[in-house]
Structure 1
Amino acid sequence: MNEKALRVLEFNKIKDLLKKKTSSSLGQKLVDDLEPSTSFDEIKEWLDETSEINSMIISNGSFPIGPFVEMDIYLKRAAIGSFLYPGELIEVSDTLRTARRVKQHIRKSNMPDLKYPIFEAYGDLISTYKDIEDRINISIIGENELSDQASPALASIRRQIEKKNQAIRNKLNSIITSDTMQKFLQDSLVTIRDDRFVVPVRAEHKTHLKGIVHDRSGSGNTLYIEPMAVVELNNDLKELRLKEKAEIEKILTEITAQVFVAEEGIKLNQSLLQKIDFAVAKGKLSVDMRGMAPALIDERRIKLRNARHPFIDPKEVVPSNVWLGKDFTTLLITGPNTGGKTVTLKTVGLLVLMTQSGLHIPVDHGTEMSVFSNVFADIGDEQSIEQSLSTFSSHMTNIVSILHEVDEDALVLFDELGAGTDPTEGAALAMAILSELYHRRIRTLATTHYSELKHFAFTKPGIENACVEFDVETLSPTYKLLIGVPGKSNAFEISKKLGLSDYVIDNARALVDNNNIEFEDVLSSIETSRKDAETERDEAIKLRLDAEKLKNQLQDKRNHIEKRQDKMITKAKEEANAILKKAKQEADEIIKELRGLKTKGTKEQNKRIEEMRKKLKDGIDDTSGKINQVLVDESDIPKNLKVGEPVYIINLDQKGEVASKPDNKGDLTVRVGIMKMKVNIKQVRRTNAEKKKSFTSSRLFKSRSANISTSIDLRGSNFEDAIYELDRYLDDVAMSGLDQVTIIHGVGTGVLKSKLKGYFSKHPHVSSYREGEYGEGGAGVTIIKVAK
């Protein structure tokens, strides 16, 4: 890849960001070696790896890539029979533990509905050595210290050392506390010199204590003497110390041998951890910049949706939509200074380099990127037409080099092509260079101030104009890229806004070729029409969304009413059935009693039958009244009944014939067979109502399903589509009785998540909301408490 392009597009800054996110020097080494690839398959594999780790980080909140070190030097020492020191073995243990935890984490992350094949393969290759870990952790308790539990022999030697220490101290304490020796000692204390216990004696009294002199104070007034009474004890202690050292070396040698036996697996673990550390850094960078993998295509074209420069604050950056290579191979961007032309150029170039390095880029879904054989860039910091000749020569030298090296699979970026010399000659050179690249069908992006190049782009199919929008009213750029529209200089308008006299501007206009003025006026008219069309389009979209939202709200309310009606009807059925059941029981009792009267006298029988008939009539009237209260639907009550008209009596489930018209209370006489009875008009229907059962006299409505999900997935939706789905979903949730739901929006660019926060804060069904915690989905979800 072209070194100058890597430098001017600031690819090294991306590598610096990656380095900060690694956990080891080995991971940083891979970052240092990172260069854009030109292999389609290799780039695809790199991007898939970044996508997997990005998903794992978003799903789990973190990735446990703990401390690990380069093991090569340790394994070489183990191979020659040397031993590793305690601090070095602690690093070995840390590395083995990190490998084991990474393997466990990868296994836990693979779910039936969420697979990570690349990292699953990494996890399968990692070897675990829990026995070596445990041996090191039990044996070593510090950088230079072994535990008594390292071996039984070491524990025994240390117990003997402790006893010998105590015996020496007791002996020396008896010497320094004796009345005879007190006057000869500098201090009544026991100290150590050359690993041997001594006492401080005044130099003039050295003959009063027989022993070995081991040291003298700086002043020469004190001698540190080992009394002859403890020389043998100190010798024994020295011997025990040597035994302890030998046992420690033996233990370290044994542990080092265990490490050497696992050499092959440890080396593979180191390589895998290095790759995983590098991948985790890529995933963290993707999360930070809300990046995603573009769709990699095997064609020479680019399509960027809402592309953002990685080094500009996400709160301030204005996304750009850029496409190149399908309908045109050259894109010419014009516009005023500080309008964002160079930023657009650098954004495209840097995102191409990042993609071909296997990194996610800050764009939206729908972005497509091809693989270029090389990227060439001529981008300078100075952008004035007053540049010196040396600067122009430098740019031309670079451009000549590009024209010699470039091939049809490369991408070329020119900033202020032809600037730095006479405008007429500069414009001619720029057109000639663009024509050369155009005829070779090389994908090219260029920025310029020259109006001649706008005409040039209009007359050449395959070369397209673009501009960065400028607001003349505020005298500031909007940084919005408009493809298909050439940029207008706006020099006269800006000067007028700044207070330049009209007659000066008119004189300036007179000095400009009329064709150029007319061309600029056409551009101005096109720009005004475009803005008006965009405003009208946005308003139409807003009205459509409002209408759809209102329609959905009304539909939801209707469904809610139908659901309530269904519940009321169900309850009415239950009450009516209970009433009818009770009435049937009472009627059965009366009939049973009537049959028993056959055995009694005629007079008494007639009297009792009359009583039962009245009781049955009253019961029927009472039951009819109750059922009327439960089931009556005013719209079904017949109007204008005529004598002799056939009717259906609901509470008796019988056909009849009207014998008299209803009175002012609604009561009428109906003939059923040979019997006549009085009923209320509310219990009568014309015969076409016969098909209705007694408990279905009111209209039934079909209810919607109440099976509401506890989450909704909005990933990939824009804000308008998202709120359309959310309004319906939250209304259903409010009716279903759910207390809490999860809104899955992903991390992405953060735009959707940010807008949804404002939406949630105003929604009547949202009591409160918060970002997901570890295990809930983290920053990729919002947990909503449903308002009651």
Structure 2
Amino acid sequence: MWFEAIGLRNINGLMEKIKLIGTYLEVEELWDINVNLRIVRIFKSRLDELGKYKQLRETIGNIPNLRVIEDVINKTINPEKEIKDDASLDLRDIRLHKKTLNMNIKRKFEELFEEPSLSNAFQEKIITERDGRMVTPVKYDFKGLIKGIEHDRSSSGQTVFIEPLSIVSLNNKMRELETKEKEEIRKILLRIAELLRNNKDDILTIGEKVMYLDILNAKSIYANENKCEIPIVNNKEILSLEKARHPFIDKDKVVPLTFEIGKDYDILLITGPNTGGKTVALKTAGLLTLMALSGIPIPASENSKIGFFEGVFADIGDEQSIEQSLSSFSAHLKNVKEILEAVTKNSLVLLDELGSGTDPIEGAAFAMAVIDYLNEKKCKSFITTHYSQVKAYGYNEEGIETASMEFNTDTLSPTYRLLVGIPGESNALTIAQRMGLPESIISKARAYISEDNKKVEKMIENIKTKSQELDEMRERFARLQEEARIDRERAKQETLIIEKQKNEIIKSAYEEAEKMMNEMRAKASALVEKIQHEEKNKEDAKQIQKNLNMLSTALREEKNKTVEVVKKIKTKVNFKVGDRVFVKSINQFANILKINTSKESASVQAGILKLEVPFDEIKIVEEKKEKVYNMNTHKKSPVRSEIDLRGKMVDEAIYELETYLDRATLNGYTEVYIIHGKGTGALREGILKYLKTCKYVKEYRIGGHGEGGLGCTVVTLK
């Protein structure tokens, strides 16, 4: 967990201790309560801040706030678990008097130590304590020199511990103060106990949450330390464990198990000799099931699935009892009888060495009968046995899957690998032969084995060989899959690199095209300015019109070159013939004359100019009634000394500014104010750029104090 639950205690027992009036808790116990209240409060606060873990927040959410109790305990007890001097006024005075008295006692002893006539009398010039009174060690031969009370002697008898008479009254006073101190502390503790009793229900609620958090914390610590996962728990009767490990075996040494009960079969029958790991496998299945159903993460893959079994029944190990006069087999039968009476379809049954402890033939028959019963009940079962008859029976029965624990015949030791689908084979004679027993005995033993058993063992050997071949094929296939995955990843990375390079080329092409188009727009604006503000003959106007058309064509061609680099996207036309629009390339308003959809361009007229421009150079604007001013008359139209362009687009603002400056010049203004606001600064930058080339402007500056500052530009007109 992300929460350190250090210091959590079971505080409900402490509340039981003070249920009667007049009882109180010791300082250490009060500190435990304080720690619990603080930890739970901080935990709840951090949980609320995260906003996650809904179920946990709902569980902890109704915890009462007992900060007042925390504050009282913190003001009373320090982190060293001692009552503070200022826990009460009386306690403060008592301890202050004790401190003063202690200094007086030390001074009296120091005066005694400095007495020349007594310099040889002291064993050591120190102050110590005996029976709660201040004394000093004196040599036995000189004890008569110091008048006082003897309280103790050393083991050798050479030193006596004497309380000088001059100290007796001071020691008495110290004992009185200590008694008062204890009584005052008792009163303080009684007051806190009363406060706790008044909040008993809330404290008990927190105590329950503390135990819940402590369990949760223990689970999380265990899961982290043992690499556990939360399996899939559902209502299906299934037990599917993947890479399962026994919790008590070192995770670096344990061999993981993988099996599934409840899908293709209901009973998993593990056969083979003892000491191969059958019982460990069975215990792993049972223990991990109980852990998961108890809400504890299990040492297995997160893909493991565990059904919500109504009961888990087990008969494992030897339970012979002298007191009950039960043999191993009788104890075994008693357990099996109780299990068979209680099991249902939604039960998990674990039976270790079923039918063992009696005659092998009868034991095998009994085991097969029990397995039949469990199979009919469709009860999920995990059973181990070493009987050959049961082994052959399980291999042929529907609803039963046989398995075995792998044994290495070369090293004569088990590998503890679970081999599902392969019955266990007997290795007794093979082991005996490897260990050097006489061949005559081995041959004789083989002769005693029935033909049926030999056929079974031969069948198991063939199955094992084919299974090993299948495992090798799986491994080769897995390697090929991994190689293919690596190749796909490599190809994916190369594709990403190519895509990145392509995007960089496209970006560069767009930037270059934009640069060129901006240059062409500037040239176009200059040509338009000549037409509008200079008196030229018609021939010059025609030449300028021709230049504009050439620039417009160049713009389209450059745009088409750029579009060829990427996938061409059709532009949606949102204007019609007769609409008033703004043409970016010439920085002027115009009217739509004709729309050419195939070429994605439109014919427009701006004043006396007619030209064709691409769709993306056209911007829709709100229709405004254009004011026409007669430039040939000397009559002045009223105009203000300032213009407010805030909230307008740069192109629109420049259009209005140009008209305004024309009127301001006509009205004889020498200085005007352009209000553009601060904002992002884009409008200000666009206006300043226009003012640099405006024919009406002599100079300009940013507004000063009282003029609007950065939100205003002051223009001096020619």
TM-score bin, normalised by smaller chain? 0.5 to 0.7
Q: Which runs of 5+ in 1 are unaligned?
A: 1-56, 383-391, 600-604, 635-688, 697-788
Question: In structure 1, which of residues 394, 401, 406 is the aligned counterpart of residue 334 of structure 2?
Answer: 401
- Give the drift of 1:221: 9.8
Q: 1:560 to 1:393 in 2, by over 3 A?
A: same
Counterparts in 2 of 1:289 and 1:174: CA distance versus 1, 3 Å = closer
Partner of 2:698: none
Q: 2:200 aligns with which of 258, 263, 267?
A: 263
| Aligned equivalents of 1:112, 1:82: Cα separation in 2 | 41
Q: Any residues of structure 2 matched to 1:8-23 within 5 Å, and which? A: none
User: Take 1:132 and 1:489, find their aligned partners in 2: how far apart are those partners?
Assistant: 70
Structure 1 position 141, deviation (Å): 4.8
Q: Could you tell me how far apart the structure 1 residues matched to 2:530 and 2:463 are? A: 99
SS in 1 for 2:327: helix
| Structure-2 residue corresponding to 1:95 | 33
Looking at structure 1, the residues matched to 308 and 524 of structure 2 have their Cα atoms a distance apart, in angstroms, of: 88
CA distance in 2, matches of 1:447, 1:225: 80
Deviations 1:499-547 (A, max 9, x none): 8999998887666555544444343333333333343344334434533
The 5 Å alignment of 1:308-387 reads 308-364=245-301, 365-380=303-318
For 1:68, the equivalent position in structure 2 comes to 9
Residue 43 of structure 2: aligned partner: 105
Q: Which amino acid aligns with 2:258?
A: N
CA–CA separation in structure 2 for the residues paired with 1:96 and 1:422: 65
Shift of 1:367: 1.4
Contact map agreement 2:121 2:145 (CA 8 A) in 1: no
**Higher RCO (CA < 8 A, seq sep 6+):** 1
Aligned partner of 1:415: which letter? D
Amino acid at match of 2:487: L
Asked whether the 8 Å contact 1:301–1:323 carries over to 2, the reply is: yes
Q: Deviations over 1:605-628 (max 9, x none)?
A: 9xx9xxx99xx9xx99xx99x979
Shift of 1:115: 1.8
What is the aligned counterpart of 2:458 among 512, 521, 533?
Answer: 521
| Separation in 2, partners of 1:271, 1:419 | 47
How far is 1:561 from its partner? 1.9
1:286-297 correspondence runs (5 A): 286-297=223-234
1:379-778 to 2 correspondences below 5 Å: 379-380=317-318, 394-406=327-339, 407=341, 408-409=343-344, 411-419=348-356, 423-439=360-376, 442-470=379-407, 476-489=413-426, 512-582=449-519
Asked whether the equivalents of residues 198 and 226 of structure 1 are also in contact (C-alpha less than 8 Å), the reply is: yes
Provide the C-alpha distance between the structure 1 equivalents of 2:121 and 2:431, rounded to a whole number of angstroms.
98
Structure 1 pair 263–462 and aligned structure 2 pair: CA distance change class (3 A):
same
1:675-725 deviations in Å (ceiling 9; x for gaps) = xxxxxxxxxxxxxx98899xx9xxxxxxxxxxxxxxxxxxxxxxxxxxxxx
Structure 1: distance between partners of 2:81 and 2:562: 91
Does the CA-based 8 Å contact 1:176-1:189 persist in structure 2?
yes
Secondary structure of the corresponding residue to residue 511 of structure 2: helix
2:676 paired residue number: none
- Tell me: CA distance 1:460–1:157, structure 2 relative to 1, closer, same or farther (3 Å): closer
**Residue pair 2:350, 2:383 contacting (<8 A) in 1 also:** yes
Question: Residue 194 of structure 2 aligns to a residue in which SS?
Answer: helix
Q: Distance in 2 between matches of 1:258 and 1:105?
A: 24
Distance 2:355 2:200 in 1: 61
Return the letter of the residue paired with 2:317: I
Whole-angstrom distance in 1 between the partners of 2:503 and 2:423: 63
Q: State the distance in 2 between where 1:516 and 1:139 align.
A: 82
Q: 1:702 aligns to what? A: none
What letter corresponds to residue 331 of structure 1 in structure 2?
Answer: L
- With over 3 angstroms needed to count, the CA separation of the structure-2 counterparts of 1:98 and 1:199, relative to structure 1, is closer
The one-letter code sitting in structure 2 at the alignment partner of 1:350 is: L
- What residue is the counterpart of 2:639 in the other structure? none
Contact 1:72 1:267 in 2 (8 A): no
Q: Secondary structure at the match of 2:270?
A: strand
C-alpha separation between the residues in 1 aligned to 2:290 and 2:451?
44
Quote the residue 1:734 is aligned against: none
CA contact (8 A) 1:339 1:468 kept: yes
Aligned in 2, Cα 1:579/1:278: closer, same or farther, shift over 3 Å? Answer: closer
C-alpha spacing 1:514/1:140, structure 2 compared with 1 (3 Å) = closer
Taking structure 2 as the reference length, the TM-score comes to: 0.62
Q: 1:208 and 1:103, CA in 2 relative to 1: closer, same or farther beyond 3 A?
A: closer
Aligned residues: 562
One-letter amino acid matched to 1:269 = I
Q: Distance in 1 between matches of 2:358 and 2:222?
A: 42
CA positional deviation for 1:401: 0.9
Counterpart Cα distance in 2 of 1:472 and 1:190: 79
Percent sequence identity over matched residues?
31
1:305 and 1:366 in contact (8 A); partners too: yes
Q: Distance in 1 between matches of 2:224 and 2:22?
A: 46
For residues 80 and 349 of structure 1, do their structure 2 counterparts lie closer, same or farther at Cα, with a shift above 3 Å needed?
same
> Equivalent residue for 2:595?
none
Structure 2 CA distance for partners of 1:403 and 1:439, relative to 1, 3 Å:
farther
**1:87-236 pair list within 5 angstroms:** 88-110=26-48, 114-118=52-56, 120-122=58-60, 124-125=62-63, 127-141=64-78, 146-164=83-101, 166=103, 213=149, 224=162, 227=165
Change (3 A) 1:110 1:495: farther
Q: CA–CA distance in 2 between the matches of 1:488 and 1:216? A: 82
Secondary structure at the aligned position of 1:79 is classed as coil
**What is the CA–CA distance in structure 2 between the aligned matches of 1:195 and 1:632, rounded to whole Å?**
100
Q: Distance in 1 between matches of 2:119 and 2:431?
A: 102
Alpha-carbon displacement from aligned partner over 1:431-468 (angstroms, at most 9, x marks no partner): 34434544555544332333322332244333332223
Report the alpha carbon displacement of residue 345 of structure 1 after superposing the two structures with TM: 2.0
CA RMSD of aligned residues (A): 5.5
Q: Tell me how far 1:397 sits from its aligned partner.
A: 0.5
Q: Distance in 2 between matches of 1:344 and 1:281?
A: 25
Distance 1:692 1:342, change over 3 A: farther
Structure 1 residues 298 and 243, CA, compared in 2 at 3 Å: closer, same or farther? closer
Aligned residue identity for 1:283: S
Structure 2: how far apart are the matches of 1:204 and 1:496? 90
Q: Deviations over 1:329-361 (max 9, x none)?
A: 433222344433222222223334434544333
Please give the alpha-carbon distance, in whole angstroms, between the structure 2 residues aligned to 1:268 and 1:592.
85
Gaps of 5+ in 2: 566-597, 603-613, 615-718
C-alpha separation between the residues in 2 aligned to 1:394 and 1:76?
49
What corresponds to 2:217 in structure 1? Answer: 280
Q: From the superposition, tell whether residues 241 and 372 of structure 1 become closer, same or farther in structure 2 (CA, over 3 Å).
A: closer
**Structure 1 224/475 Cα, relative in aligned 2: closer, same or farther at 3 Å?**
closer
Q: Which residue pairs with 2:708 in the alignment?
A: none
1:79 to 2, 16, 20: 20
